[in-house]
Structure formats: structure tokens, C-alpha cells
Structure 1
Amino acid sequence: MASTQSKAIIPLKHLLIYGGLLVTLSMGIRHGFGLFNLPITAANGWDRETFALTIALQNLVWGALQPVTGALADRFGAFRIMMAGGILYALGLVGMGLSTDILPFTVAGGLLIGLAQTATTYSVVYGILGRNVAAEKRVWAMGVAAAAGSFGQFLMIPVEQGLISHFGASDALLLLGLMATLMLPIAFQLKEPAGSSQLQLGNQTIAEALGEAMHNRSFQLLTLGYFVCGFQVVFISVHLAPYLSDLSKAVPAVGSPAVASTALALIGLFNVFGTFYAGVLGQRFPKRYLLSGIYASRAIAIALFVFMPITPFSTYLFAAVMGFLWLSTVPLTNAIVAQIFGVKYLSMLSGLVFFSHQVGSFCGAYFGGLLYDRSGTYEVVWMIAIALGIFAALINLPIQERGLGRLQST
């Protein structure tokens, strides 16, 4: 296959450091939103469905607008998009911290932060990677960037828990808003020269790229599998802490906030290793088989956690295993997209796949809260997460990773 780029515009080391820092902040802050569930709902007299709906809307907005943001970044460059995202992220966090009514809280936490995440997370950063990293190192570089986001999750969980404990949930959100402004100077370090987004070979238009992808069988299967990823990870991140709190009557030791925050931090820590090694293994083995194994392993891990006696140790073990599998799908999924379709519209096409992920995220967050409020238990949602894991393991197997014919002639 011919190369799809001319030469690196941003040095690899520079790009990995600052791209990793941007993802660390953006993903790290959002990973801790589950810690705000109980204190926010208790302080405002809301039920869990209200908080869950805000996080669900955030994920849905993120997914629905990611292809649009990705297309803008591919067409005009990522710098302006990342700057706008950093500003919106800070405004959204401040809005959440100041809100005492449901509507402004939902607008700030759902709409503003959801839109901000389209501009500060993987799809836009991976577009920059695609333009600057050679194909033989691309999966590895994506794994490193995903590992940086995972480290942010590990780093930010104790930070956010500490802010909540010392300042309360509302002030903690204001302080996180201040922290989010650090994304602005980081974005300056990732600025590409004008026109660099047009250096890719080929004359394909955005409309042609969209039509090609939407009619591709492998793209369809990859998209369905990513729905499952979103459902599982967001359900766990938002509802694990309340789930453990509910168990405190039967098993007092697991109801401590420290157990939940430690478990979420362990997910972030082991996610560092999982995403990194997903990038390494993705350079050597078929990525579809790795994805299938990840989804099957998630189903097994969830089943063992739910059906075995739950203790602090079993919770930490579950968190470590799930952490290793958490975002390891991200570099593999995006690398398959780049391998099949090339990198010219990588941010946009990755955004399309990611939309399915975020529809799953919406369902995991919202239906977790809805079904809990209706039934008083999370057990049904756990069963759904297991079944979806088996489904995703099966549908990833037929994916074809070969590049399209047009790439052979460029």
C-alpha cells in the first residue's frame, strides 16, 4: 500500500506528549463524574435518574456531534476545534457547580461538556496522529495516546474525591473548571501549519467518504461492537459507586466511598497498561480477534463479579481486570478505520464509529438509573452488559481489515 502521508509535521515525541496531556485532562475529568452522583443528588433532592440523564445526554451529544467536529478538524485543522473545546469544558464544569436547578445543570453537564469532549478527546487527537505518524507506527501511537487518557483517569479519581471531601461537590466542580483551562496552552502545542490537513493523497470528498464507509460491511460491524463498549464502560463508571453503596447493608465494607474511588482509580491505572499493550499487539496480530477477545473477557469479568460474593478485594480485582480491558478497544477500533479507509478523513470516520459508542454510553448511563429507580436494583442492567459483551465478541470476528482498492492505486 502506498503511503498516505508525506512527512511528519509535528515530531512524534512532541505530539505524543501534548496529545497525551490533552486526552489526560479531558478523559480524566469525565471519568470521575460518577463520584458526584450521590453528593449532587442528595444536596439537591434529585433522584438518580436525573443525574444519570445529564451524563447520558453528555455522552449522546458527544457522540452525535463527534462526526461533525471531526469533519471540521479534518477540513480546517484541529487547533481551533481544540481551543473551543477547552473553553466549553471549563464553562460546562462551572455551570454544573453553580446550578441548583435541573435544567441548567443538564445544559451545562450534558450539552456543553458533551460538545467540549468532541473537540478534546480521541477522534481529533487521532486525526493529528494519522497525519503525522507513519502507518507502521500508527496503532502503537494510538495506544500510547489512549494510555495517556487512561493515566488521566487514574490520576484524576483521587484528585476529584479529595476535592469533594475537602470542598464539597459544587466547589469541586468549579475547581475542575479552572483545571480545564489548561487545555488551551496544550492545544497551542498541537497546532499544525495551515493546509496540513489537506496533505493526504487522493481527491475523495467528505460526501464520498461518508457513503463509502456507511455501505462497508466491516465498518457496520465495527460500529455495532463499539455500541457495546460505550454501554459497559459508562454504566460502570456512573453506577458502580451507587451499586456498592447499596450493598453496604449486606456487606458494610464495600459501601465506603473509599472502596468506590479506589476501584475507579484502579480502572484508570490498569487501563494504562491495557491500552498500551492493545497498541503493541495491534501491530502484530489481527485487530478484529483482539477486539473479540476483549469483549468476551469483559462479559466473563462482569459475570464473575456479579455472581460471586462481593467484597472489597473482589471489587478491586474486578476493577483491575475491567481497567485492563476498558479503553483497549479505542486504538484497535480507530486503527481498523485508518487501515480500511486511509487517514484523510480519519477524525470524521472515527467520529461516526464513536457515535455508536456514545449511543451505547447514553443507554448505559440513563437506563442504569431508570431501571434502578423502577426496580430498586441494578441486577437487570448487569445482565444486559453480559449479554452485550457476548454479542460484540461474535460480530467483530467477520471484520475485514484490508485497505480498500482505491488506496492501492494512490
Structure 2
Amino acid sequence: MDTKIVHRKLVQIIAVLSALAFLFSCCSACGLDRFDKKSFEKINLKEYQYALFISPQWTDDDGGKIGYLLLIKPNGQYLVQRQGSMDNGSISWTKNSLFYTDSKRDYWLSDSRAPHRVPSEKFYLQDGLVTLADGVTRVGVYNGGYSNSQHTDYDEQIVISDTHWQSHRFRSHFQYSLVAACGNDVYGLTTDDSLTSKVFDKSVDRIVQNKRFSFKKVMKYTDPLGESGPVTGKGSCANNRIVFLGSHSRESGEKIRHTEVTKKLLAHQQKDEYGKKEIESIEVINVQTGEWKSLPLINKDHTTFLSNRFGFDYSVQTYNSLNKGYLYWIHGDGRILKTDMKSGVTTVVSTILHNTKHKIEDIAFHPTVIKNRMVVLVEDWTKPDRDITIYTIDLKTGTKVSQVSIKGLEKKIADNMILRGFAVRP
């Protein structure tokens, strides 16, 4: 395996292992309302503005046993709901409902309906959770790992949770490193299934069509330079185009075809911390035509958009990051950026959260986009009290709209509990 892929995996592992974790006990002095399992039905979602999902790694001794939903009021007060765990678990919050899951059940909360739990067995590790165009149906992708010792077959579970509170299962034989919903269809990006293929061979699969299981291999793709990969596991989609941040590097000794595409990519190489040259990019896949565009991130004058290479590997986008042809995302250094999906032109939207004092890995950002605003939960691992702060940034002006601090968590933190998902009332 190429060192770049190894490095990216290490970065992801470091981010997970370093993440703050929250194991909560009752504390009346901390603004904490404690709900046990029997009190799930008493939750009044109307009171809350933000939601966090907290869980250990599935490899942990407590994996699959304990997880928490943290619901936060506009003033920073919060309650904790205990359930089972889901490594890398996400939360989906639409006007219709708030949805999350653990390895045993699906959970539905709504402003107008009573809370509801549905039995739904899954693997302990979530690769993606997307919401379809109806705002109700959710599709989760769950990672069961290799199903045989030869590593020739994979167990990826696709679960559709629908408007009737029912969940339906389907098994895929490929691991999806990126998942995206386009309308009522869902697509996954995977490496090639052939053991003899190069690591840079990719395929795009349609796994759901019109809210039903429908597998189709849409296209195969070989990186023009030899190796590439998504920076994030969340793909954004608009007008049947999946858009995500990516990176490219030329494989040592690998012959490349000299085309306009490779020429443009090679013109915008940057060195990483190991001296290896890489290209930061925006990837655009047309799932109707099968066209895949790799556009280097550039400035308005067509020079290379320079960034901390290590920080770029920590960059984050969300499923709803696309807005009027621009991908809004947050760099690992805290700058909020937007990239034109047609040209790759990248501009700075806001520097309010720009981390200039600490190491990249000391500050974690969990963004979501609500219309013309980005809401970012910030974890500062250098602070002894381990409090977290939620910022709302206007994407038109780059100014701060609001700031909410979540206090009193330090005594309730356990090393094996990790902040996974973040969602905001739409």
C-alpha cells in the first residue's frame, strides 16, 4: 500500500484516538438533566437546538454496549440519553425528525410525534448515514469487515429506515469509503474489487434507487496520476453531481498519460510534511453520465491555493455542504472556505476559527451547514476543562452570529468515549 494511503489512515486514526470523549454522570450543578433508558419517551425535542452522538470505538471493550445522545438547549444546558453504541455514528436532523442509531435499534425524535425506538440489528461501525429527498428516509452503511481470511469478500451492510419506522437490510461485498445521497438515490465510492488491481482504481456504485435497494456499478475510475483518495467520507450532491474534497499524488515509477488533466494537476503540486508532492482537489462525479472531474484547488488568479498539507487531511465537509455551485468546508486549521465546483477556485469565507496557536491535531471541528450559515462545534483539547463551544458563522459575511459554550463536562469524560456526530435544528 502506498505511503500516502497509510499516512491518511494514520491521520484518521490519530484524529479518532485523540478526540475528546464524554461519559456523563448526573450533576445538578452542571445544568445536566439525566435521562435513563426508560425516559427516552419523555424527551421533548422542541426544547433543543443541537445534538451530539457520543460512542466508543467498536474495538473498545465497551464497544457495542454504551453510547450517548447529548441534546443541547440554546442556552447551553443539556441532557444525556443513554443507549447502545455505534462507532462513527452520525445524526440526521430534518424538519420532519431527528434520527440516530446504535447497533441494536433506530431512534426517531420529532417535534410533533412521540419518541420512537425500532429494533434494528447492525454492525458496530458506521461508514455513512444519509437522508433522502423526502426528509424522512435514512440510509445507513455499516462496516462488518472482511468475511473471510483471504480478504477476498467484504461485509458492508446497507440499512434503509423508512417513514413507517421499518428498517430493511441488504448486504454489499464492497467497503464504501464515501457515501452520498442524490435525491432518493444513494451512491458509494469503493476501491476496485479485484485483488490484482491497483490501489488507485475506484468504482462508483449505486446502492439505492428511489428509496429501494438497487445495486448498479455506475463507473470505474483510475486516477490520472496514479493514486488518489477522498479526504472525507461524506459526499455532497446536487443536480446528480457528487462533490467531495480529494488529493492526488504521482506514484513513484508509475507511468502516466500526459493529458490536459494531468498537466493541470501537476501544475499545482504541494509538498507534504514528508516532502512528497500532492495535489489538493475538488472531485466532481456526474452519476448520470459517468464523467469524473478532478480540479486542483486554485486562487482566483489561477495560482495554487496553498494550505498546510497536514491540515488539509483534517478538513471536513458535510452532506449538505453544497450551496449554489459552491462547496463550503472547513480546513483542518479552522478556516472556513468555499470552492467553485466548476473551476476549483477556492476563497476564504471566514478566519474567526483559524487556529494559529496550537497544533492542527489539538483542535477538532465538527461543521454542519444550515442554509447560509455554518454551525461548527469546536473541541479544544489543550484546555484542561475540556469544554466545547458551538459557533454559528454567516457564510455571506464571514461574521460570527452566535456562540454557545457547553460547560461542566470535565468530570464526566472517559477516555474511551468519543464525540462522533453533530447535528443542528434545521
Shorter-chain TM band? under 0.3
Q: More strand per residue: 1 or 2?
A: 2
Q: Which has the higher contact order (CA 8 A, sep 6+)?
A: 1
TM-score normalised by the chain length of structure 2: 0.23
TM-score normalised by the chain length of structure 1: 0.24
